[in-house]
């Protein structure tokens, strides 16, 4: 499953209960050694060298921690202080704390199904505005199937709001499939330069997928809701659409994580680490969003982004058919988008 990953696996960010007493000094030493070795794959060798030196110098402090979560937090803090890379972090993946604890491929697949491949909500809002909320972008074919199914339900709305305020990444399939639905001509995606274990590099040009039935939302307005939590692959999706002028961004500046990885670095005792071995460049801007994030077109507080985008969408949407009832609904929504949303969500 990890072989196709382009950006941070969002599931790694989901919290797992870790208790005091579930980490021994020996386990801490072993995991630090594994991380130090894994840094060989980091895309900037000089930064990897400095980061490795920090970790090894801090080993006595790590060995005094008796909680896996405290260890993950402490190591991640040190990794970031040296690298300033938001992707380079350790998390606790399993409830079990034994040396061989890790999620099997079957367990990971079940977890993906249980959280619906990142799908959180799809809704037709009053005034015929579509709403889609995604928690992460699934990296396998199931993600594309989910996107196709959802877009088939929303294709006849007059404008679309895609809520990425809680989307922390993923990527590889679902994001490329959704981009394929939003334009008749391919929306340019990022170019990734991968650093291989032997020090050589290779370039991968990402491209939108071509939905089997053609794009379902190529010609109507699209709004993206963004927040500081919007990260990694979710940011590439945002960046691609902004660079192409295909969507309007509403909300907060995104988190600023652009460095991807395409190979796992195994850790023992139920830990997981993401070590980027790639750098991104967008073909339109010849830049990326690392460390700076992506600024919205319309800056709003997190909890006001939906209302703002909804009002904007209602104002520009062009109904393809209207009845007296649908026009009353649309005009009421235009008059008071906030009250309309509150009423709709209360049902």
Please return the burial class of 176, using the count of CB atoms within 10 Å of its CB with bins 0-12, 13-18 and 19+.
buried
Per-residue pLDDT at 17: 54
Do 121 and 101 share a structural domain? no
Residue 267 lies in a domain: no
- Yes or no: say if 86 and 255 are a contact pair by the CB < 8 Å rule: yes
Do 208 and 124 share a structural domain? yes
Gap between the Cα atoms of 294 and 248, Å rounded: 12
Residue 207 lies in a domain: yes
Per-residue pLDDT at 56: 98
Instruction: List % helix, strand, coil for the chain (3-state, nearest 5).
Output: 40, 15, 45
Do 147 and 80 share a structural domain? no
Per-residue pLDDT at 347: 76
Per-residue pLDDT at 100: 94
Do 169 and 97 share a structural domain? no
Do 194 and 123 share a structural domain? yes
For each of the chain's 347 residues, which pLDDT tens digit applies?
Answer: 334 545 554 444 444 555 678 999 999 999 999 999 999 999 999 999 999 999 999 999 999 999 999 999 999 999 999 999 999 999 999 999 999 999 999 999 999 999 999 999 999 999 999 999 999 999 999 999 999 999 999 999 999 999 999 999 998 899 999 999 999 999 999 999 999 988 899 999 999 999 999 999 999 999 999 999 999 999 999 999 999 999 999 999 999 999 999 989 999 999 999 999 999 999 999 999 999 999 999 999 999 999 999 999 999 999 999 999 999 999 999 999 999 999 998 87
Per-residue pLDDT at 16: 57
Residue 266 lies in a domain: no
Q: Look up the domain containing 314 and give its range.
A: 116-261+277-346
Do 176 and 151 share a structural domain? yes
- Yes or no: say if 80 and 86 are a contact pair by the CB < 8 Å rule: yes
Among 81, 106, 131, the domain boundary falls at 106
CATH code, domain carrying 189: 3.90.226.10
Structural domain tally of the chain?
2
- Yes or no: say if 341 and 125 are a contact pair by the CB < 8 Å rule: yes
Among 106, 128, 153, the domain boundary falls at 106
Per-residue pLDDT at 2: 34
Residue 111 lies in a domain: no
Gap between the Cα atoms of 49 and 55, Å rounded: 10
Do 28 and 159 share a structural domain? no
Residue 131 lies in a domain: yes
Residue 68 lies in a domain: yes
C-alpha dihedral sign at 279, 263, 4, 238: negative
Gap between the Cα atoms of 217 and 28, Å rounded: 50
Do 94 and 51 share a structural domain? yes
Per-residue pLDDT at 131: 98
Residue 268 lies in a domain: no
Do 327 and 186 share a structural domain? yes
- Residue 17 in tokens: 């209960």
Do 155 and 230 share a structural domain? yes
Among 106, 126, 152, the domain boundary falls at 106
Do 134 and 75 share a structural domain? no
Per-residue pLDDT at 336: 98
Name the maximum alpha-carbon separation found in the chain. Answer: 73
Do 156 and 101 share a structural domain? no
Residue 208 lies in a domain: yes
């Amino acid at each position: 499953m990890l072989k196709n990953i382009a950006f941070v696996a969002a599931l790694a960010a989901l919290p797992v209960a870790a208790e005091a007493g579930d980490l021994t000094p020996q386990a801490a030493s072993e995991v630090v050694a594994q991380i130090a070795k894994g840094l060989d794959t980091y895309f900037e060798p000089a930064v990897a060298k400095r980061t490795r030196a920090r970790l090894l110098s801090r080993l006595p402090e790590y060995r005094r921690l008796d909680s896996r979560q405290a260890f993950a937090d402490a190591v991640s803090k040190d990794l970031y202080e040296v690298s300033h890379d938001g992707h380079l972090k350790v998390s606790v993946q399993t409830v079990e704390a034994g040396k061989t604890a890790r999620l099997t491929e079957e367990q990971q697949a079940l977890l993906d199904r249980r959280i619906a491949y990142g799908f959180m909500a799809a809704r037709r809002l009053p005034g015929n505005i579509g709403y889609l909320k995604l928690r992460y972008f699934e990296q396998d074919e199931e993600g594309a199937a989910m996107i196709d199914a959802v877009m088939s339900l929303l294709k006849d709305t007059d404008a679309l709001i895609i809520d990425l305020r809680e989307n922390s990444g993923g990527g590889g399939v679902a994001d490329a499939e959704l981009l394929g639905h939003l334009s008749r001509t391919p929306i340019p995606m990022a170019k990734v330069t991968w650093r291989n274990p032997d020090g050589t590099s290779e370039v991968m040009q990402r491209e939108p997928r071509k939905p089997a039935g053609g794009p379902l939302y190529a010609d109507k307005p699209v709004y993206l809701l963004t927040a500081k939590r919007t990260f990694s692959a979710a940011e590439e999706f945002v960046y691609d659409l902004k660079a192409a002028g295909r969507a309007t961004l509403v909300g907060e500046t995104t988190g600023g994580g652009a460095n991807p990885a395409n190979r796992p670095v195994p850790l023992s005792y139920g830990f997981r680490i993401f070590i980027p071995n790639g750098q991104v460049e967008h073909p339109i801007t010849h830049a990326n969003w690392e460390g700076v994030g992506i600024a919205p077109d319309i800056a709003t507080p997190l909890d006001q982004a939906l209302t703002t985008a909804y009002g904007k969408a209602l104002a520009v949407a062009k109904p393809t058919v209207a009845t007296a009832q649908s026009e009353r609904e649309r005009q009421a929504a235009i008059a008071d988008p906030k009250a309309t949303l509150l009423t709709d969500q209360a049902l």
